[in-house]
């Protein structure tokens, strides 16, 4: 039997993955592809001087890579990947440090590295690696998980170091990552007092990073509509053409779209929003497909939340699968809802992409890895796990 035949046989022998997660992710990617093609027309023709089809091909290639990665990861036992989580996290932290030395400047911060002509964001690797390693630590330390020195402190060092390095240039990503970690700690039976302390430390870090950055401070002031900091320009912050420009243009898109939308490819606000294909893709979808399209998109993330928490996590064969499912589900869904909330004006402008919908490279691949892990856990659900093994972990949560 050839290698290909052997591989096909092994794949055929695998238990089926969660089909609802697969279908929802495919639907998100399909809607995102159509929206990106519409939103990127202005950038391609006016700014880049090229055809929008070239950007569409790039997006399709990245979506294809993400789905390929998702498929490969879904057949690899998540326990195998967890064994290398510490190495992966250390590597990601080193890359984050290197961004400070030779990172590419983008959107007001240094977030990108370029190696052999390929640009990527180390923060995407770091968030996946941190969730993996925190899950490993929580499972290993279950016998003394409420001990501050033996359990919580080692977790705190890795978590705080990672969110600090990410937060220096990308506060929104570090905030969502911290939320995911706190929920993982809650599921992992960490003391509520310690989890609260982690949240307080995160809040203090956020305040420090906002105060030390006039750009972040201006965004917060524009959102609140009040002047809080001395080193920001009140005139620029309150000017509709200044710091409030992006948020206002996004809300206009919602107003124009109404209930049914203006129709595919007929967006007007794509010519005014700075990054309609990425940071504000939800606003373009709301404009072209109306409230109906926007709610359908959010419904897809609700399905992912339901399947991730109440099916995949609940039926996970062991505590590691449970904690991983909670962490990755939280990351994916929180990204989607935060992106939508920013477009609606409910949160300050953050720049978070919408998973599988926004135009992106490394973020698309990172999302593919996370969904792949969820699918692999679903392949090993409670129905395929011996009852005796499940009883060993009955008191985990």
Three-class DSSP category at 284: helix
> Is residue 181 within 8 Å of residue 138, measured between CB atoms?
no
Nearest CA to 335 among 19, 9, 28?
Answer: 28
- Could you report the per-residue pLDDT of 72-99, keeping only the tens digit for each? 999 999 999 999 999 999 999 988 888 7
Average pLDDT value over all residues in the chain: 84
Percent of the chain with pLDDT strictly greater than 70: 82
Contact criterion met (CB below 8 Å) for 286 and 250: no
Point out the least confidently predicted range of 45-54, 224-233, 249-258. Answer: 45-54
pLDDT at position 50 is: 66
* pLDDT > 90 in the chain, percent: 49
Q: What is the pLDDT of residue 235?
A: 64
Give pLDDT, residue 19: 92
Instruction: Considering only residues 183 and 387, tell me which one the structure prediction assigns the higher pLDDT.
Output: 183
List pLDDT tens digits, range 340-373. 999 988 888 887 899 999 987 888 999 999 999 9
Residue 340: the pLDDT is 94
| pLDDT in the model for residue 115 | 59
pLDDT of 368 reads 95
Q: Cα 383 from chain centroid?
A: 29
* Phi, psi (deg, nearest 5) at residue 172: -65, -40
| pTM of the entire predicted model | 0.89
The mean per-residue pLDDT over the stretch 172-200 comes to 94
CA distance 136 to 274: 40
- In this predicted model, what pLDDT tens digit does every residue of 300-339 receive, in sequence order? 999 999 999 999 999 999 999 999 999 999 999 999 999 9
Residue 223 has pLDDT above 80, yes or no: no
Within 10 angstroms of residue 302's Cβ, the number of other Cβ atoms is 14
315/245 Cα distance (integer angstroms): 46
pLDDT tens, residue by residue, 118-138: 667 888 899 999 999 999 999
Q: What is the pLDDT of residue 25?
A: 96
Summarize the confidence of residues 239-255 as an average pLDDT. Answer: 80
Beta bridge partners of 362: none
């Amino acid at each position: 039997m050839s290698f290909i035949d052997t591989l096909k046989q092994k794949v055929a022998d695998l238990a089926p993955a969660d089909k609802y997660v697969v279908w929802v992710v495919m639907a998100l990617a399909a809607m995102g592809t159509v929206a990106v093609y519409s939103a990127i027309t202005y950038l391609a023709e006016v700014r880049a001087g090229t055809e929008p089809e070239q950007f569409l091909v790039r997006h399709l290639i990245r979506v294809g890579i993400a789905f390929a990665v998702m498929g490969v990861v879904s057949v690899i036992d998540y326990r195998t990947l967890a064994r290398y989580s510490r190495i992966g996290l250390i590597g990601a932290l080193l890359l984050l440090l290197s961004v400070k030395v030779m990172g590419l400047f983008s959107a007001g911060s240094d977030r990108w590295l370029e190696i052999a002509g390929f640009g990527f964001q180390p923060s995407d690797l770091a968030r996946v690696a941190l969730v993996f390693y925190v899950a490993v630590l929580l499972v290993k330390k279950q016998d003394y998980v409420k001990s501050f020195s033996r359990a919580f402190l080692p977790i705190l060092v890795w978590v705080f170091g990672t969110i600090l390095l990410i937060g220096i240039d990308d506060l929104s990503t570090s905030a969502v990552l911290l939320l995911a970690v706190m929920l993982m700690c809650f599921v992992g039976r960490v003391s509520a007092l310690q989890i609260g302390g982690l949240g307080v430390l995160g809040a203090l870090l956020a305040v420090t990073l906002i105060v030390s950055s006039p750009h972040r401070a201006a965004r917060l002031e524009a959102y609140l509509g009040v002047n809080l900091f001395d080193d920001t320009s009140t005139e620029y912050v309150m000017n509709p053409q200044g710091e409030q420009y992006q948020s206002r243009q996004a809300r206009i898109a919602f107003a124009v779209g109404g209930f049914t939308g203006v129709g595919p490819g007929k967006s007007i606000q794509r010519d005014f929003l700075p990054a309609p294909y990425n940071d504000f893709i939800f606003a373009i979808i709301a404009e072209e497909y109306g409230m109906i399209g926007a709610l359908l998109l959010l419904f897809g993330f609700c399905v992912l939340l339901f399947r991730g928490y109440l099916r995949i996590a609940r039926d996970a064969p062991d505590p590691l699968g449970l904690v991983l499912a909670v962490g990755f589900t939280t990351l994916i869904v929180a990204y989607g809802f935060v992106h939508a909330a920013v477009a609606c004006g409910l949160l300050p402008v953050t720049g978070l992409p919408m998973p599988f919908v926004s135009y992106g490279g490394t973020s698309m691949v990172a999302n593919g890895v996370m969904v792949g892990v969820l699918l692999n856990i679903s392949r090993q659900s409670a129905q395929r796990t011996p009852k005796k093994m499940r009883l060993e972990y009955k008191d985990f949560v």
